[in-house]
Amino acid sequence: MKDEKTTHFGYQDVPVSEKAGRVRQVFDSVANKYDLMNDLMSFGIHRLWKRQTIEMSGVRQGQRVLDLAAGTGDLSARFSGLVGNEGEVVFSDINAAMLSQGRDRMIDEGRVANVRYVQADAQYLPFPDDHFDCVTIGFGLRNVTDKQLALNAIFRVVKPGGRLLVLEFSKPVLQPLQKVYDLYSFTLLPKIGKLVTQDEESYRYLAESIRMHPDQETLKGMLEHAGFERCDYFNLTGGVVAIHRGYKV
């Protein structure tokens, strides 16, 4: 019997069959402090990154949107208001704990009529072909076991004329910023995680997963390989984060 293929979990090589379970454990651990940690980790700037994603999405009233790796629903909440009662937002996450946190938040905010919740793996989407006007995945693609498989699946469910937006940590384009970013990610970030969530290891993994994620040009090429056209990307905060966008023609 051949040895099982491996993939990266942060800086570790693990069997492909184990990665999803390990990622699930990370988010099970941090789900109830996820929003607080996002504010602390990014000094609140994540809200500006998400606002830019919304503005670039071009989502309009009556459209159907899939928000993958929706977390606690920052993007879904904004899309719910944009599509109105004639539209639909599918709030999706592979992790049950994150999905539950997000659903509770959306219900508390009164966003019920046009939002539905689906626990799904981005690699194997349970939706029809040519179904969504827009698909977003915010800070989730780097955790997917096979990113190309997920991008292929997303392309299948996007309508012709629709688009994908990937909001994700990326590679800083300024060398001095890279050094500061590394110091913060591998020294301060795990300590904040330990203080707030009593889980230093999960935030060490998150820092490592960012470093293992494809750079801007590589990810653009992956979108094109999936079939998306007119692909481009926009660096935010000096390339610490990038928004990639592609269209299905």
Q: Is 121 annotated as a binding residue?
A: yes
Provide the Cα torsion 61, 65, 71, 74; round to 10°.
-20
Contact 76, 89 (CB under 8 A): yes
Q: Which residues of 59-75 are buried (b: 16+ CB within 10 A; e: fewer)?
A: beeebbbbbbbbbbbbb
Q: Is 93 annotated as a binding residue?
A: yes
What 8-state DSSP symbol labels residue 188? I
> What are the residues whose beta carbons fall under 8 Å from the beta carbon of 228, sequence distance 6 or more?
151, 155, 164, 246, 247, 248
For tokens 């219900």, the residue is 107
Q: 93 in helix, strand or coil?
A: strand
Binding site for S-adenosyl-L-methionine: what residues are annotated?
A: 72, 93, 121-122
Numbered residues of the known binding site = 72, 93, 121-122
